Structure 1
Amino acid sequence: MRAAHQTGNTLEVSSGREALELSTMRQVTWRILPYLMICYLVSYIDRVNIGFAALQMRSEMDLGNDVFGTGASLFLVTYCIFSVPANLALQKFGARRWIGTMMVVWGAVSIGMVMIDGRWSFYAFRLLLGAAEAGFLPGVIFYISRWFPKAYRGQVSALFLVAIPASSAIGSPISASLLQLHGGLGLSGWQWMFLLEGLPAVLLGVGFVLFMNNEPEDARWLSRDSRQWLQHSLEAERSQIAELSGAKKASVWTALCNPAVIALSLIYAGVISVGICLSLWQPIIIKSYGLTDFQTGLINSVPFCIATVAMIWWGRSSDRHNDRTWHTFWPLALSGAALLAAMVFHSLPAVVVILTLALIGTYAAKGPFWAMVTQWCPENISAVGIAVVSAVGSIAAALSTYLLGEIQKATGSFSLALLPLIALAVVASVVLLVAGLRRRALEKV
C-alpha cells in the first residue's frame, strides 16, 4: 500500500512538472517568438530588397552586374567586422536595449538609401547597413538560448528563421508593387521602396525596448513557479555544456580557437551563402527571361513560399528526433545537388524548380543548425562564439555574392556563376559529418 501510495505521488509530481513546463513554454513562446519573427522579417526585407531596387537602379545609374555584386557583398563585409563587437556590447548593455537600438539605426539607414545617386553612395550605404544590422541575428540567437531549453531550440530557431524565406515570399510582391510608385512626388520607385520598407524597423526597435525582457528573471508576466522552473532548466544545461567543453577564460581569441566554433563557422559558410546569394540575385536571374518587374516579383515569391513551409516542418522533425547533425546535412546536400543541376537545365520552369529545391535546402538547414550552435558552443564563450560563426559565414557569403557578379559578367552565364555556392555546400557537408560524428563520440564517453 505504501509503495503504491508513493508511486501515485511520484506520478502526480511528474504530471505537475510536465504541466508547469508546457504552461511556461507556451507563455514564453507566444510572448517572445512572434515579435522576434516580425523583427527579423523586416530585417531581411531591408537587407535583400536591393535585389528589386536593382531592377530600376541599374538602368537609371548605369550600374552593371559587377557593381551590383560588389555593393551587395559590401553589406556583408561590415556585417562580419561588427558582428563580434556588437555581441560583446549586447552582453554589456543587455539584449533589450541593444537590439532595439540596432533596429532603429538600421531602419534609419535603410530610409536614407533614397539618397543613393551613383556607385559610391550605393557602396557607402550598403557598408552602413551591414554595420547597423551586424549584431541582430547572433544577438537574437543568443537571446533565444537565454529563454528556451535546448529541447525546444530546433523548432523555435526554425520558426524564428522562417522569417528569412517569408521575407522574400512576402516582400517580393510588396517590393515589386512599390516599384510601381515610380514618379510619385518626384521619387523613383526604388526610392519609395526604401522609404516605406525602412520605417517599420524604427517602430519595432522602439517597441523592443519598451516591451521585451533580458532574462526570465525579469519576466513579471510569468508566475514565480514558471520563472524558477525555467531558470533552473537553463542553468542546468549551461553547467552540462561547460563540463563537456571544459572551462576557459572567455575571450574572442578563445572562441576563434575553439574546435566547435571553427567547425560551425565552416558549416555556416555553406548554409548561409546559398540563401543570401539567391535572395539578392534571384530577381535578376528571373527577370533575365524577359518578364516585367511585377511578374518577376510574383514568380520570385513562389520558391520562398515553399521553402517557408519546408523550414517549419523540418525544424519540428529535428526536435522530434532530437537530431541536429543529419537534419542539417541532408538539406545542405539538397542545395548543392540542386545548384549543380543548373548546369544542365536552363528553361524558366526548370530554373524555378532548381531555385525552389536550393532554397528548401538552405532554409530547412537553418533551424537545426542554429540549435546545434547553441548546444555545441561552451557557455563561457556562447555569445562571442555565435557572433564568430555569424561573421565567418558572412565572409563566405560576401565573397560568393561578389564572385557571382564577376563570373556572370566574365562568362555571361548565371549557371557557371553558381559554382562557388556548390563548392561551399560540399565543404560544409564534409565538415559537418566529421565534426558531428566526433561530437557524438564525445557525448557517449
Structure 2
Amino acid sequence: MRSASVPEPARPATPDDSLLSKGVALARRRLIPVLVLMYVFSYLDRLNLSYAEPSISRTLELSATVFGAAAGAFFLGYAVLEVPSNLILYRLGARKWLARIMITWGAVSMLSALAWDAASLIVFRVLLGIAEAGFIPGVLFLLMQWFPARERGRATALLFAGPLIAGVVGGPLAGLLLGLDGVAGLHGWQWLFLVEGLPAVLIGLWVARWLPNHPGEAGWLDAKTAQAMQDAIAAEAASTRSREQLSLGKALRDRRVLLLAGIYLCYHLVTNGVTFWLAAVVGQLGELSTTAFSTLMTIPILVAAIGLVVFGRYAGRTSNSRGLLLVGLLIGIAGLTAAAVLPPWLSLVAVAVASFGSSGLLPVFWELPARLLTGRAAAGGIALINSIGQLGGLVGPTLVGAIKESSGSLDQAYLLLAGVLVVAALLTLLVRFPRDQAETSPSPSTEVEAETP
C-alpha cells in the first residue's frame, strides 16, 4: 500500500538548483512556522505541570517523589505508542494524523484540570502521552519529505525552537493563569490546563484542512518547483538505498539505530530531569515576585535557543556530525558538573550553559538517522529512537525528585545527570554513519537564501 505522505516520482531527476532553492525558501516561510506553532502548544501542554508544581503539589498533597512520577508518567504512554503512531502516519499522511494528535492531546490537557488526587493526575498524564505519541517523529519524518539533507538541519533547528518559545512565553503566561486562583471556584493550575489545552484543539482542526503532506500538495508551490523538491529528495533517498537498503524490520534491529536510541534516552533523562525541576532551581534564589520568578526560568531557555542557532547552522552541512554531537554533550557535562558545586545564582547560569549544549545538539543528532533510513524504515526507525528516548523523560523527573527528597538539594542529581551525558558521549563514539550525503547534496543559491527569514 502506498503512503499518503511520501511522493514517489517515477524517475528521480537531477533537480534544478534555482527551483529547489526557491522551494526550500518558501517552505521555510510557509511550512516551518506552522510546525513550530504546533510544537509550541505541544510543549506548553507538556511543560505546564512544571510551572504548576508548587500549587498543584499543595492542593493535591503531592510529595516530591510523587510529583516527579506524575511528570514522568506522560512519557510512559508516549513511548509505548510512538512506533505504531508513526507507521499510521506513514500510511494516512501527516495532515490527517498530526491533526488527530493535536486535537486529542489538547482535549486531554483540558480534562487534566479535573484531577483530584495523585492517582488521577498520573492517569491524565499517561493519557496525554498516549494522545501525543508520534507527534515529534511524525514531524521529523515530514521534514524528510520536504527538505534535502543540506537544508534539513536548519529546518530541524527551527522546529526545535518550538519548545524554547514555549518556555519563554510559558513562564509569564503560567504566572498570569496561576494568578486566577479562586476565580470561578477553580485553582490556578486548573485554569492553566484549561486555557493552554484549547488552542491545540483549534489548531488541530485547522491543520486537518491545510497541512500539505509533501511539496506536490502545497498550493503555494508551482508545479515545477514542487517537482524539483521531490526529485531532489527522491535522488537522496535512492543514494542512501544504494549504500545500504534497510527494511523496517532490519531498521528496528540495526545496531546504529539502537545506539542512537540509547543516546537519545540519555538526552531525555537529563533534559527532563532538569526542566521539570527548574522551578526548584529558581526557588533556591530566595523570595521572588511571580514576574521575577517566571523571568528567571526563561534564562536557560533563551541560552538554549542560542545553542540551536549555532549548532543548526552546521547540521547537515558537515560530514562530522558525530564530532558536533560530542561538542554539545561535553558542554552539557561541564555545565551540569558546575551547577552541582556552585552557589544558587551561579548554578542557574551553569544550567543555562548545559542547556546551550544539550539543545544545540538536537538538529545535529537527527541528521544521523536521516543518513541511514528511508521510506517506511525511516518512519519506524525515527519513531523507535524517539520512543526509547522518551523513556528518559519517564525516569529523569522521578529520579531527580527522589534525590532531592533524600538529600535536600539538587547537587547530587546534577552530578548524576552529568554522568548520564558521559554515557551518551561514549555511545556516540561507537556510532558510524555514511558521510557523503552531506557533502554531495545540492546547495541553494545565495540569492534565494537572502530572502529567507
Give yes or no for contact 2:154–2:363 (8 Å, CA) kept in 1: yes
Q: Deviations over 1:328-367 (max 9, x none)?
A: 211111111211122211x221111111011111110111
TM-score if structure 1 supplies the norm length?
0.91
Give yes or no for contact 2:272–2:392 (8 Å, CA) kept in 1: no
Superposition pairs for residues 46-125 of structure 1, below 5 Å?
A: 46-125=45-124
Q: Select 1:387's aligned residue among 380, 383, 386.
A: 383
Change (3 A) 1:204 1:323: farther
After TM superposition, give the deviation of residue 178 of structure 1 in Å.
1.3
User: 3-state DSSP class of the match of 1:317?
Assistant: coil
User: 3-state DSSP class of the match of 1:318?
Assistant: coil
Q: Select 1:328's aligned residue among 306, 322, 325.
A: 325
Q: Select 1:260's aligned residue among 256, 281, 285.
A: 256
Largest Rg, 1 or 2: 1
After TM superposition, give the deviation of residue 90 of structure 1 in Å.
0.7
Change (3 A) 1:416 1:428: same
Give, as a single letter, the amino acid of the residue that structure 2 aligns with 1:413: S
Give yes or no for contact 2:178–2:189 (8 Å, CA) kept in 1: yes
1:29 aligns with 28
1:316 aligns with 313
1:5 aligns with none
After TM superposition, give the deviation of residue 60 of structure 1 in Å.
1.5
User: 3-state DSSP class of the match of 1:275?
Assistant: helix
2:203 aligns with 204
In structure 1, how many angstroms separate the alpha carbons of the residues matched to 2:373 and 2:267?
18
Give, as a single letter, the amino acid of the residue that structure 2 aligns with 1:137: I
2:178 aligns with 179
Hey, which of these two has a bigger chunk of helix by percent? 1
Q: Deviations over 1:120-147 (max 9, x none)?
A: 1111100001111111001000011011
Is 1:299 paired with 2:296?
yes
Give, as a single letter, the amino acid of the residue that structure 1 aligns with 2:204: G
In structure 1, how many angstroms separate the alpha carbons of the residues matched to 2:380 and 2:393?
20
Q: Deviations over 1:358-397 (max 9, x none)?
A: 1111110111111222223344410000000001111123
After TM superposition, give the deviation of residue 26 of structure 1 in Å.
1.1
Change (3 A) 1:46 1:79: same
Q: Deviations over 1:164-199 (max 9, x none)?
A: 222112211111221111111111111111111111
Give, as a single letter, the amino acid of the residue that structure 1 aligns with 2:423: V
Give yes or no for contact 2:252–2:384 (8 Å, CA) kept in 1: yes
Q: Select 1:361's aligned residue among 346, 357, 362.
A: 357
User: 3-state DSSP class of the match of 1:299?
Assistant: helix
Is 1:417 paired with 2:413?
yes
1:7 aligns with none
Is 1:279 paired with 2:293?
no
Q: What is the percentage of aligned positions where both structures have the same residue? A: 30
| Pairwise CA RMSD | 2.1
TM-score if structure 2 supplies the norm length?
0.89
In structure 2, how many angstroms separate the alpha carbons of the residues matched to 1:166 and 1:277?
19
User: 3-state DSSP class of the match of 2:52?
Assistant: helix
After TM superposition, give the deviation of residue 407 of structure 1 in Å.
1.5
Give yes or no for contact 1:177–1:294 (8 Å, CA) kept in 2: no
Change (3 A) 1:431 1:442: farther
Task: Choose 269-278 or 363-372, whichever is displaced more.
Answer: 269-278
Give, as a single letter, the amino acid of the residue that structure 1 aligns with 2:403: I
2:286 aligns with 290
Number of aligned positions between the proteins: 425
After TM superposition, give the deviation of residue 229 of structure 1 in Å.
0.8
Superposition pairs for residues 212-251 of structure 1, below 5 Å?
A: 212-248=211-247, 250-251=248-249
Change (3 A) 1:168 1:282: same
In structure 2, how many angstroms separate the alpha carbons of the residues matched to 1:379 and 1:329?
28
Give yes or no for contact 1:83–1:391 (8 Å, CA) kept in 2: yes
After TM superposition, give the deviation of residue 439 of structure 1 in Å.
4.4
Give yes or no for contact 1:242–1:380 (8 Å, CA) kept in 2: no
After TM superposition, give the deviation of residue 322 of structure 1 in Å.
5.3
Give, as a single letter, the amino acid of the residue that structure 2 aligns with 1:307: A
Q: Deviations over 1:181-230 (max 9, x none)?
A: 11111111111111111111011111111111112222232112112111
1:6 aligns with none
Give yes or no for contact 1:158–1:312 (8 Å, CA) kept in 2: yes
In structure 2, how many angstroms separate the alpha carbons of the residues matched to 1:220 and 1:167?
29
**Runs of 5+ consecutive residues of structure 1 not aligned to the other structure:** 1-13
**Runs of 5+ consecutive residues of structure 2 not aligned to the other structure:** 1-13, 440-453
Give yes or no for contact 2:328–2:360 (8 Å, CA) kept in 1: yes
